[in-house]
Structure 1
């Protein structure tokens, strides 16, 4: 029964526990991110690294303690501004640090700001004048140990005790919860119960520095020295660790290391970066300056909570993404843009823009570079194995490769690729720059047969079935039939759409040996019998929730790789269904070769993907926890006058209340997600200020101004480079109202309003009484005014009546004057007649008459002359004319002061519409004189020839 139980436990451990340890890949180089000193604003050297519970990283830097939260760097110098050489973070969140003549700890205050507490001040300066550098800090059994060369300082329960070195300490280590010191005289010492005990057979290491001690098995300890290499201490015996790793350390010196994934060792070197080896000393991975590090001297290494590797360099900091299933072959392996890859005769061949390169598949990839195949230096679009021959489709033609060089040129035209013709066994069709050509399998290998005539379009996207040759060109496809002699296409038909619902064709591909045509993620097949395209709902449903793809390829394991935008994903076939995997490949976004989906699946552990700057290796079986749910932090909350730092393991702060005068707030966000930081995005919402979450952005700062008083809740979430979102991080705070909107102020306002209402109501009552008094007076005044107005109106009426009477009398007078004028004119006419009679009488020959008649005639003549001479009608006429037209003459004289009396008379006669002859008679002038007088009057009045004189006078 015990045996069965033990077997079950062992089986469970092997199946479920060991895979979670993970492994370090031995193919390619992991992604490396370098941080330069101008980025973290510190010194060059970084001696030690640590991480707190929230994921924040800390670096012992020459300029102080550095903190990195994924978004920003902060620096905390020591009081004496010396270099920090070591650090240790305990379970309480205290960050213990050590430098020159200084050691102590940083701890967040109530506002999250890291405050330093010095423990070096507790050392009696009279007994110990120089503390020297603190090189190591350990946390063991609730005790913190600070180790310098001369002594160790033990801090426990607030008390500091001192352990003096027998001769001189080098460094110290904790292994299996045991504390060890290296003494330059007594070798390795174990500290137990306040005393030091020598480890047997370790004094041989006295003349070298030990930089690391790690447990390999229960009784086997690995010892890392600076110059002498690696040693194994087992059963009280010390012996060299004769391995690849030891040879590397002896050559490049070592400054310690770390255990990664519980089954591998990171070894820091002075001259050549780092190596990772297994517990047998076999080198798995080597990363140095040539492969991406900014500096080859590694002072410290640290494995973070995601099993990724951080390096403290002699000049800078480096992050190595060891937990990723991806590694890369890039510039360090001397390859560039990759269009295709294939395994052939134990070599991995890659077709690139510079030619075809190869590397032995079974040998170690750690150090070697890819070699160029002789004769392929040109654009190489494809490399494929056809009938046991390696064929390269190159800008120089279709080439046969063997033994690392081109052995034969089949055709000198540039080619994109070749495919088998199903209806003609032993024949192949190749896409070249001039169209398509036919190749034939012969005992001597593949040979060129002929160029297909009548069609010069070409593309790398084409497929063949038993009946047709299908070519995708631009957004259309061509359906063509080869002639029986394979010299031309007997039929050619261009197709622009597969159905009435969708225009343009996205891709053409073979899935399980059948040709599919894709448009907008809908997959169609062609029925020759019905001469139509019909949709395969089963395949279309696989891509229902996938972004619109532009290319699709089925690999050797029947997995479906698809490209969309500038990314790729895969539908991994698992039994009879597919699992969509896209998140891990987001790191390749933007690095894929456009229109060339290059995926070479050798097996589930070895998948090669072509990139614009090399080749990516993907191990789909590598269990990893790198795609985990990220955490979001509101890192700081600032307002005028204060800043609150969050996420420093401080105790939860009380409710935050800020004054209204500080209602300009600023938030910074962070996430301890260190992989692909440039793709980490934040979204936030300030309730109730924001109605919805903001758009995703890489900006980790947000400010709000002029917030009104009230309670607010800031929520932040983060999305990592794989599109996985975190739970929201929440911070609540209150903006106090301004003093004039405070509750007490409101109460005062209420009291003032009540008093004001009382005063105003009393004043209103008094005003009403006054208004009634003034209203009575006003009514009396109005009555008197009305009475006075009536009297004035009576007076005005009487004057009006009198005026009317005068006007009436004047009208009568004028009427009489007009009548007199008319009568006078009649008299004038009468006198005129009488003068005519007088002239007639003068013409009578009186002498011829008898005396009686002569007397009568003379008497008559005298009587008429007397009548004419005694008549004063003309003067009366002039007088009355002036009376009748007095107003006219007055206006005319005012308007034209220089006008003469004769001209006034003329104007009056003209106004009366008298003829020239009548005017001449009245004025006793000739008619010519009247015309002359009229001309002078017109000139004085300023009239031109076209203006009517009488009309002008009437208008005055």
Structure 2
């Protein structure tokens, strides 16, 4: 996989304006609103980690590169001076001085030293200066010098007002209001010789400068003490210092001195070349009154009467900014005859002797500046002009001169996009340019690219993309070919480029190329990593892309392994979106057009800085879980589970830069992320041991040595050892209980199954018994019916025999035999005996029939009951008659009477009633 090197530079940019000055470095403003303290800042110091400390009217300000923190003195007085020495921050205030140290929680704690002063009383003293000399710390008020050494304080009273002190040649030199300089020797003041030149001058500051001492006066300029002799600096700088009241002096390097003034900001003076540059409020400072200065690496910090500023010295990017609005938004710039020309929405400007000049008659919107054949073309809102000898000459009346593109295979023929179509430009033999409108096209063309000498591609922002064929003279459109959507999702707002003689298109963030041989548009693989970007400058080896997303980065690449990104919030705010332009002056110098000026990049210097990155390891400034702040010296932070829902870890890497961070968390769970701030928030981590590695990310996307933090989220109470032991016993008891319960449940289930089986067995037996009884009843019913019918037939036969014998009585000669025969027949038809047998069998089948019938109808006679029984057996009248030994008529009469007794209506069937009766 192709490896890319991503370079990220973070620049703090504040605009500046001064028509008579060079380009200025970036300035970062820190307002009192941002650092949340008083506006006045009297002193600045920085520790070995690059963390800033400021003497402020409200107290001591601490800036670790990420956060500002204010610490107040116990008496809440103004801090006038500050100095960092060997891990301690010494401060001076009203009748108070001492030092601050960081405690185990990352906070500063104050220790006063004034109790060490013996036999001396303060006289309304404020301490304005603190200097280290070897192992001693010197505090200066306007009347006294205090020397702190070996935990003792010695006092040197001066017979004059002490305006400033300095360390020079490993001694302390003192300046007094009597306009003289003194050495401190053996706790006494010894005057220097040859100081007549300083007589009558108020010395406000002194700093060593090589082997010399710079002496700054309030209104008389600056002097240089060398080998015991005092000389005045050149008037080039001194005239400025006299006018604007010098206040602070700082040596930046062996040739450069910074002067802070009361009325006009800061001056940087090169003593070798006798040149200076001024930065003031008009150029980006928050205030013109400089109260303190501090150099740290390539930065100049200013403590101002209103705010704190950081100036990026020797920065590879410098800026020219129009605060007045006169220049406006710059759309193009070009170097012409060794002068820089700017085209803006207000006209054409150029620099001459570092002064911005306006080209008369150029007022209006300027879209394009091109140098062609030694002539400067200006595409203007009102037409196209050629600028020569400071004068504009119009060569085209067609309004809105956009891009001028040379026609391939011609010497001096150009096509220009305008508000209303295309224009043709040709240089005649006499050296004069002539222009004409290309007929046959009437829509605005801002971008165009040639496919060949007679075919040009043009994009309309709303109507789409067109391929236009022209005649050989390029004066007339012969054919319009509209490019339909196909490989391109959308033909609106397309951007066109001619890269290495190939038509390249950008649509909706994607890149495409056109193949004229196959007449096919396909994806452009070389730009696949630059989706959603505009190409704003390119040549054969370098490409500049502008990121269209919310981050709006500028990316420089060779399409290989070398790539870097310019990423800055202030720069993003100032770029002219959709018209952003990068102009190459040469292989190293590039210009950026801005909404209020322009920027200049020295690419060689920038790339050299990338090779010398000093990347600090982050430091932990706080470790907070819930509301508890931990000590920073802990080997392993222990976090209770109930406060571990949110863990906040703050880190910083010093005030030199606004760093990006990368962290890796390993443990019960793992996670990693890049951060543009120093606050790492970990949420809802499960308990367990964790290792957190935090890196500072360089401008080349390289990682610093990690800061390793180990912490352990303790188990919650319900996972403590005692809880786990309790869970173990509860588990054992639960297992036993479950086993007992299952055993009981199984026994119960077995019992239920047994009862169910018994019940089912009983039901089966009962069913069998029932079926058996039903069969028995059915058998008995059949048998009873059969027996009854047999008796009935027998009786019927006997009756017939009796009737037959009675009819043939005369045939019997022996009367006695006739009677005997009649008696035998009568005895054979024994109704009572037959009834008893019938009754026994009937009661077996219908056990309670007679009892229930008598209960309901108590007036029934035995004979009625017999008839009821025969009727229940569903016998007919004819069948009942022989059973009862009466005639059919007798049975009918009996039935009639029975119906009366039972109170049954004639419409109801008597037999059915008795059959249903239980």
Q: What TM-score do you get using the length of structure 1 for normalisation?
A: 0.70
Partner residue of 2:147?
A: 154
Q: Deviations over 1:633-681 (max 9, x none)?
A: 22233468975666xxxxxx57456486898464211122544x3xx33
Instruction: Output aligned runs, 1:525-536, within 5 Å.
Output: none
2:711 paired with 1:718: no
Between the aligned partners of 2:265 and 2:382, the Cα distance in structure 1 is: 41
Partner residue of 1:610?
A: 593
Shift of 1:346: 6.3
Between the aligned partners of 1:37 and 1:347, the Cα distance in structure 2 is: 41
Residues 824 and 345 of structure 1: is their aligned pair in 2 closer, same or farther, counting only changes over 3 Å?
A: same
2:576 paired with 1:582: no
Instruction: Output aligned runs, 1:364-763, within 5 Å.
Output: 364=355, 371=358, 374=361, 376-378=363-365, 380-399=366-385, 408=394, 410-441=396-427, 446-453=433-440, 456=443, 458-463=445-450, 465-466=452-453, 468-471=455-458, 480-490=468-478, 509=497, 514-515=501-502, 517=504, 550-551=534-535, 553-554=537-538, 560-565=543-548, 566-570=552-556, 580=562, 582-583=564-565, 588=571, 592-596=575-579, 598-603=581-586, 606-612=589-595, 614-622=597-605, 625=609, 628-631=613-616, 632-638=618-624, 643=629, 655-656=635-636, 658=638, 664=644, 666-672=648-654, 674-675=656-657, 677=658, 680-696=659-675, 698=677, 700-703=679-682, 708=687, 712-720=690-698, 723-732=701-710
Partner residue of 2:251?
A: 259
Between the aligned partners of 1:906 and 1:200, the Cα distance in structure 2 is: 170
Residues 718 and 900 of structure 1: is their aligned pair in 2 closer, same or farther, counting only changes over 3 Å?
A: farther
Residues 685 and 833 of structure 1: is their aligned pair in 2 closer, same or farther, counting only changes over 3 Å?
A: same
Between the aligned partners of 1:660 and 1:75, the Cα distance in structure 2 is: 30
Partner residue of 2:783?
A: 819
Q: Deviations over 1:267-304 (max 9, x none)?
A: 22223332323226866443333333333322112111
Shift of 1:689: 3.9
Counterpart contact for 1:516–1:525, Cα < 8 Å: yes
Shift of 1:312: 1.2
Between the aligned partners of 2:850 and 2:254, the Cα distance in structure 1 is: 131
2:59 equivalent among 46, 57, 64 = 64
Shift of 1:487: 3.5
Q: Secondary structure at the match of 2:621?
A: strand
Residues 828 and 717 of structure 1: is their aligned pair in 2 closer, same or farther, counting only changes over 3 Å?
A: same
Q: Secondary structure at the match of 1:416?
A: coil
Counterpart contact for 2:24–2:318, Cα < 8 Å: yes
User: What's the Cα RMSD here?
Assistant: 5.9
Unaligned runs of 5+ in 1: 1-24, 647-652, 765-792, 845-849, 942-948
Between the aligned partners of 1:815 and 1:835, the Cα distance in structure 2 is: 29
Instruction: Output aligned runs, 1:180-191, within 5 Å.
Output: 180-191=173-184
Partner residue of 2:97?
A: 103
Instruction: Output aligned runs, 1:185-204, within 5 Å.
Output: 185-200=178-193, 202=195
Partner residue of 2:755?
A: none
Q: Secondary structure at the match of 1:172?
A: strand
Between the aligned partners of 1:102 and 1:266, the Cα distance in structure 2 is: 30
Counterpart contact for 1:347–1:358, Cα < 8 Å: no
Between the aligned partners of 1:74 and 1:899, the Cα distance in structure 2 is: 118
Partner residue of 1:9?
A: none
Partner residue of 1:924?
A: 895
Shift of 1:206: 6.3
Between the aligned partners of 1:487 and 1:427, the Cα distance in structure 2 is: 11
Q: Deviations over 1:552-602 (max 9, x none)?
A: 6346x9754344553334458xxxx99945245667567544554522223
Partner residue of 1:132?
A: 125
Residues 621 and 641 of structure 1: is their aligned pair in 2 closer, same or farther, counting only changes over 3 Å?
A: closer
Shift of 1:728: 0.9
2:111 paired with 1:117: yes
Counterpart contact for 1:113–1:645, Cα < 8 Å: no
Q: Deviations over 1:598-632 (max 9, x none)?
A: 22223456421123554211123447647724322
Residues 813 and 100 of structure 1: is their aligned pair in 2 closer, same or farther, counting only changes over 3 Å?
A: closer
Counterpart contact for 1:470–1:478, Cα < 8 Å: yes
Partner residue of 2:3?
A: none
Between the aligned partners of 2:560 and 2:843, the Cα distance in structure 1 is: 127
Shift of 1:95: 1.8
Between the aligned partners of 2:870 and 2:220, the Cα distance in structure 1 is: 149
Shift of 1:140: 1.9
Unaligned runs of 5+ in 2: 1-17, 737-757, 881-887
Counterpart contact for 1:346–1:362, Cα < 8 Å: no
Instruction: Output aligned runs, 1:217-232, within 5 Å.
Output: 218-219=211-212, 221-232=213-224
Residues 69 and 813 of structure 1: is their aligned pair in 2 closer, same or farther, counting only changes over 3 Å?
A: closer
Partner residue of 2:138?
A: 145
2:83 paired with 1:83: no
Partner residue of 1:3?
A: none
Counterpart contact for 2:425–2:433, Cα < 8 Å: yes
Shift of 1:68: 1.0
Q: Secondary structure at the match of 1:582?
A: strand
Partner residue of 2:269?
A: 277
Residues 42 and 617 of structure 1: is their aligned pair in 2 closer, same or farther, counting only changes over 3 Å?
A: same
2:309 paired with 1:318: yes
The number of equivalent residue pairs is 827
Between the aligned partners of 1:269 and 1:326, the Cα distance in structure 2 is: 26
Shift of 1:228: 3.5
Residues 416 and 808 of structure 1: is their aligned pair in 2 closer, same or farther, counting only changes over 3 Å?
A: closer
Counterpart contact for 1:98–1:134, Cα < 8 Å: yes
Q: Secondary structure at the match of 2:239?
A: helix
Q: Deviations over 1:352-393 (max 9, x none)?
A: 4x33341424325xxx6x758655434x43222345554333
Shift of 1:318: 1.8
